[in-house]
Amino acid sequence: MKNSKLFEPISIGDLRLNNRIAMAPMTRGRAGEERVPNNLMAEYYFQRSGAGLLITEATVISKQGIGWIGSPGIYTDEMVEGWKKITEKIKPTGTPIFLQLWHCGRVSHSDFHEGNLPVSASAVKLNGDHIHTPFGAKPYETPRQMSIDEIKTTVSDYRKAAENARAAGFSGVEIHGANGYLINQFLDATTNQRNDQYGGSLENRFRFFKEVLEAILEVWPSNRVGVRISPNGVFNDMGCDDYRELYLFVANEINKLTLGYLHIMDGLAFGFHGKGEPMSLSEFRNVFQGIIIGNCGYTKESAQERIAEGNADIIAIGRPFITNPDLPERFRNNWPLNPSEDMSLWYTPGSEGYTNYEPYKP
Ligand SMILES: Cc1cc2nc3c(=O)[nH]c(=O)nc-3n(C[C@H](O)[C@H](O)[C@H](O)COP(=O)(O)O)c2cc1C
């Protein structure tokens, strides 16, 4: 396509992006048992800094938020120092880097919590095969419903994590409201069966998310905060009957907060919950005035199309960035891409399948 805007700069508030390709957040499990970011991770992000925007892998805000082996955290001084090495390596490139803040909720196991059950909006078990814990693959457990006090504590944990992200030198934070993790568990009526102020109406199901956002907005200017949602997603056993009403409500509420961006997983590359027609970016464009990032299964061509139609401002790309660290340059020059389907090295420790992919040599 001629005159593509994909390679033109764009601003998120006072931040300038060199192009409209974001690297999607991707858990890679290289932070080790202590969950402290390291030099190998710094190299990985640096190699991919040709993106207009880097969004980090999901990063746990507290011990209770843990649910994945080797994923990094942002709740101790060592973690802040570890992340600082990464942001300092990225700074000279001029590419903004947002930290994705994560609480797994029920997508966890008592093996991660000294024998205590994971928590969720309600005691609803994930219907899935098994979860990888430090002691092997285990069946999912029925989580414990969070008390109101625990909800307040978790909101404070998000605030503290946002402060730590600032101290670590990030450009901003992305709140992970997608893919069936804790915030998504509060939004979705299937996993939220509460009858207090955090369950029932759309407003109540959104309340936890809203309180998290309000806490984070005490720490960061609004344009430095992004939000990720997955209205169509089935990942982690999600999908409720009123998803369209729910996500239009969420987008409308988030619109009032003038955030940096709304990141929507609209594509069906990771499956569809099948409760009706999938939601499209144009539906969100009608209610959300800020920057929209689209994601899931995009190619250079479909990214260009979506931006040209005006339904997305930026497109986030995930898997192709794993095997093509110089993806934007490959797109720009029509260079061939390395295949990205092999998932055997996605979460394995070490540099193989992580930092050993070379930039294209014409
Ligand atoms: C290895 C891997 C790890 C992922 N980890 C995260 C994550 O930490 N946070 C998140 O929001 N999405 C995560 N995702 C989803 C991606 O951000 C993205 O939505 C998905 O890969 C679809 O985009 P793509 O078709 O461009 O790969 C992950 C995907 C992959 C393949």
Check: CB of residue 105 under 8 Å from CB of residue 120: yes
User: Is pLDDT above 70 for 2?
Assistant: no
Q: What is the pLDDT of residues 37-75, one digit of tens each?
A: 999 999 999 999 999 999 999 999 999 999 999 999 999
Q: What is the pTM of this model?
A: 0.98
The enclosing H or E element of 262 equals strand 261-265
Which residues are marked as active site? 181
Check: CB of residue 50 under 8 Å from CB of residue 42: no
Q: What is the pLDDT of residues 177-197, one digit of tens each?
A: 999 999 999 999 999 999 999
Q: Which of 26, 101, 104, 179 to mutate to test the pocket of ligand 1 (most atoms within 8 A of CB)?
A: 26
* Arithmetic mean of pLDDT over the chain: 97
CA 356 to CA 358: how far, in whole Å? 6
CA of 28 to the centre of ligand 1 (A): 10
Question: What are the pocket residues of ligand 1 if the criterion is a CB atom closer than 6 Å to any ligand atom?
Answer: 24-27, 57-58, 100, 176, 178-179, 228, 265, 269-270, 295-298, 317-319, 346
Mean pLDDT in residue range 66-91: 98
Phi, psi of 23 (to 5 degrees): -85, 125
Q: Report domain extents, the chain.
A: 10-333
DSSP state of 344: T
For residue 144, the SS3 value is strand
What is the pLDDT, as a whole number, of residue 35? 98
Tokens linked to 63:
């011990």
Q: What is the pLDDT of residues 289-347, one digit of tens each?
A: 999 999 999 999 999 999 999 999 999 999 999 999 999 999 999 999 999 878 999 99
Q: What is the pLDDT of residues 227-251, one digit of tens each?
A: 999 999 999 999 999 999 999 999 9
Which residue's alpha carbon is at the smallest distance from atom 14 of ligand 1? Answer: 26
Check: CB of residue 104 under 8 Å from CB of residue 65: yes
- Which of the listed CATH numbers 3.30.428.10, 3.30.1200.10, 3.30.420.40, 3.20.20.70 matches domain 10-333? 3.20.20.70
